[in-house]
C-alpha cells in the first residue's frame, strides 16, 4: 500500500525552514520511511510539471515555507493548494509574512532601485534591471514578477494548519508531522504549537519583577546583557509576553531577547499592537515629555513589534503606498 505523499516547497524564504527539516537529523529518516516525498526543491529533483501531472488532492500534505511575493510563488501556492489535502504554512514567513514582509513598509520601486542601483555593494552603471519578459532572437524569456505586496500564505490561498517559527524547531515539526500521519488533528486553521505566551517556559521567568516601570529602553547591542535576568527587567524589549511559546526559548538561552517569530496567541489579532500595549502601559512617567523620552529608546516601532508579522498585522502594509497600477499576471 502506497505511502502518503508529502511535499515541501519554499517561496520567499531564507532556506532556514528547509534546513530545519534537515535538522530533524536521524528522525528525518523516520519521516522518509513513513512517507513518499514528491516535491522538495532543496533536496530532490522534481519539476513543476510533475506536480501539475498529479491528480488534485493527491498530496496528503504540503509544507510550504516562505512568504508569497512573486507571481511564481503565487502560482505554486495555488498549484500545491489544489494538489494537496492539507496545505501547511511552515515557518514564520508562510505563517505571518515573516521578515520579508517588513518590505511592506516600502514601495516596490524603492526596493528595486536600492537593490539594483543604490546599495553600497552594487556596481551597475547601466542600471540594468531584471525584466519580466525579454525577447531574444524570436524567443521570449520570462521571469516572475515581483509583487507590490508581501503576503502570508493564507493571504493567497486557503491554509489548513500553521507551524510557526523562524525556523520551526525540530520538536514542533516532528510533533506536527506525527499528528498529521496519525490523523490526530486539531480544528482546521490551528497553529500547531502551544497557545500560551513564551514567558511560561522562559528560563528567566522567575527573575521578572512585578513592577517594571520602564525608565529607559536599550537595544541588545547597547547593553551588557545579564545572562540570568529577564530582558524586560534590563530594559531590553523582549517579545516573549506577546509571543506563542513552544520554541523552548533558544534565543533566550543564547542571551538574546525573543523577537516574536512564533507569532501571537489565538486570542490576539495583532501581535505588535498587543506588545506595544503592554510594554508602553508599563512605562514610567505621567508627563508627555518624560514618556516620549523613554519611548525614544525604541527607534523603530514597526521593526520591533512586527518583526515577523507585518503582513498579517491589521494594517498589513504602509497604507499610503500606491496600489499596483493594474492586474499583472
Partner 1 sequence: MLDTTWQPRIIAFFCNWCTYTAADLAGVSRLKYAPNVRVIRLMCSGRVDPQFLLEALARGADGVLIGGCHLGDCHYVEGNAKTLRRFLMLKRLLADLGVEDQRVRLEWISASEGDRVRSVINEMVDQVRALGPLNLPGRFADWDREMTGLEAQVRAAEPQTAPKAGELTHA
Partner 2 sequence: MNSNGNNGDLRIGFYICHCGHNIAGVVDCPAVAQHIAKLPGVVVSRDYKYMCSDPGQELIAQDIREHRLNRVVVASCSPLLHEHTFRNAVAAGGLNPFFFQMVNIREHDSWVHTDVGAATAKAKALAQAAIRRVRFHRALEMTRVPIHPDVLVVGGGITGIHAALTMANGGKKVFLVEREPSIGGHMAKFDKTFPTLDCAACILTPKMSAVRAHENITLWTYSDVVKVEGYVGNYTVTVRRKPRYVKEDLCVGCQECIAACVFKEPKFPDEFNVGLGKRKPIYIPFPQAVPQVVLVDPERCIQVRTGKCKQTCLEACADRQALDFTQKEQLVEIKVGNIILATGFKLFDAKRIPQYGYGLYPNVVTSLELERLVTSSGPTGGEIVLKDGRHPKSVGFILCVGSRDMKTNRWCSRTCCMHSMKLAQLVREHTGADATVFYMDIRAPGKGCEEFYDKSLKEGIQFVRGRVAEVTDWALAPEEEGKLVIRVEDTLAGFVRRIPVDMIVLAVGMEPHADAQEVRRLFNMSCGTEGWFLEKHPKLAPVSTFTDGVFIAGCCQGPKDIPDSIAQAGAAAAEAMALIDKGYIEQEPNTANVMEEHCSGCKSCIPLCPFTAISFDAPSQKARINEALCKGCGTCVAACPSGSIRQNLFEDEEIFGEIEGVLADA
Binders of partner 2 in range 163-192 (CB under 8 A): none
Does residue 85 touch partner 1 according to CB under 8 A?
Answer: yes
Which of 98, 241, 246, 257 touches partner 2 by CB under 8 A?
Answer: 241
In terms of Cα–Cα distance, which of 159, 162, 180, 153 is closest to 263?
162
Query: Could you give the CA distance from residue 174 to residue 60 in angstroms, rounded to a whole number?
Result: 16
In terms of Cα–Cα distance, which of 80, 150, 106, 89 is closest to 312?
150
Q: Please tell me the total number of residues recorded for the chain in this structure.
A: 329
Stretch that binds partner 2, among 30-38, 41-49, 93-101, 205-213 (CB under 8 A): 205-213
Beta bridge partners of 191: 162
Contact 90, 64 (CB under 8 A): yes
**Assigned C-alpha cell, 83:** 494538489
Query: Could you give the CA distance from residue 109 to residue 229 in angstroms, rounded to a whole number?
Result: 44
Does residue 4 touch partner 1 according to CB under 8 A?
Answer: yes
Does residue 268 touch partner 2 according to CB under 8 A?
Answer: yes
Distance in Å, CB of 61 to partner 2, minimum: 28
Phi, psi dihedral angles at 151 (to 5 degrees):
-125, 155
Cβ nearer to partner 2, comparing 122 with 278: 278
**Assigned C-alpha cell, 239:** 517579545
- Residues in touch with partner 2 (CB under 8 A): 195-200, 205, 208-213, 240-242, 245, 264-265, 267-269, 274-275, 277-279, 281-282
Provide the binding-site residues for partner 1, judged by CB under 8 A: 1-5, 34-35, 52-58, 60, 71, 74-75, 78-79, 82, 85, 105, 147-149, 155-156, 181-183, 268-270, 272-274, 276-277, 279-281, 283, 285-286, 288, 291-292, 295, 298, 300-302, 305, 313-321, 323-324, 326-329
Amino acid at each position: 500500500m502506497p505511502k502518503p505523499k508529502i511535499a515541501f516547497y519554499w517561496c520567499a524564504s531564507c532556506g532556514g525552514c528547509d534546513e530545519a527539516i534537515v535538522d530533524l537529523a536521524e528522525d528525518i529518516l523516520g519521516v522518509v520511511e513513513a512517507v513518499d516525498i514528491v516535491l522538495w526543491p532543496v533536496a530532490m529533483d522534481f519539476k513543476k510539471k510533475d506536480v501539475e501531472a498529479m491528480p488534485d488532492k493527491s498530496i496528503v500534505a504540503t509544507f510550504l515555507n516562505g512568504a508569497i511575493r512573486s507571481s511564481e510563488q503565487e502560482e505554486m501556492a495555488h498549484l500545491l493548494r489544489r494538489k494537496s489535502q492539507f496545505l501547511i504554512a511552515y515557518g514564520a514567513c508562510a505563517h505571518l509574512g515573516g521578515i520579508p514582509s517588513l518590505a511592506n513598509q516600502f514601495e516596490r520601486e524603492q526596493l528595486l532601485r536600492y537593490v539594483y542601483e543604490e546599495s553600497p555593494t552594487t556596481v551597475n552603471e547601466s542600471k540594468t534591471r531584471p525584466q519580466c519578459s525579454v525577447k531574444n532572437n524570436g524567443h521570449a524569456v520570462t521571469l516572475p514578477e515581483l509583487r507590490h505586496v508581501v503576503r502570508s500564505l493564507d493571504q493567497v490561498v486557503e491554509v489548513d494548519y500553521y507551524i510557526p517559527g523562524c525556523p520551526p524547531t525540530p520538536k514542533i515539526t516532528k510533533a506536527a508531522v506525527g499528528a498529521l500521519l496519525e490523523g490526530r488533528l486539531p480544528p482546521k486553521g490551528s497553529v500547531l504549537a502551544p497557545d500560551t505566551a513564551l514567558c511560561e517556559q522562559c528560563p528567566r521567568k522567575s527573575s521578572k519583577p512585578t513592577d517594571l516601570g520602564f525608565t529607559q529602553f536599550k537595544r541588545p547591542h547597547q547593553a551588557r546583557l545579564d545572562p540570568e535576568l529577564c530582558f524586560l527587567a534590563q530594559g531590553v524589549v523582549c517579545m516573549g509576553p506577546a509571543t506563542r511559546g513552544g520554541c523552548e526559548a533558544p534565543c533566550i538561552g543564547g542571551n538574546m531577547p525573543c523577537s516574536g517569530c512564533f507569532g501571537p496567541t489565538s486570542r490576539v489579532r495583532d501581535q505588535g499592537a498587543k506588545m506595544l500595549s503592554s510594554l508602553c502601559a508599563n512605562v514610567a512617567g505621567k508627563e508627555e515629555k518624560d514618556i516620549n523620552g523613554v519611548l525614544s529608546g525604541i527607534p523603530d516601532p514597526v521593526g520591533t513589534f512586527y518583526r515577523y508579522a507585518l503582513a498579517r498585522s491589521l494594517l498589513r502594509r504602509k497604507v499610503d503606498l500606491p496600489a499596483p497600477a493594474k492586474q499583472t499576471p
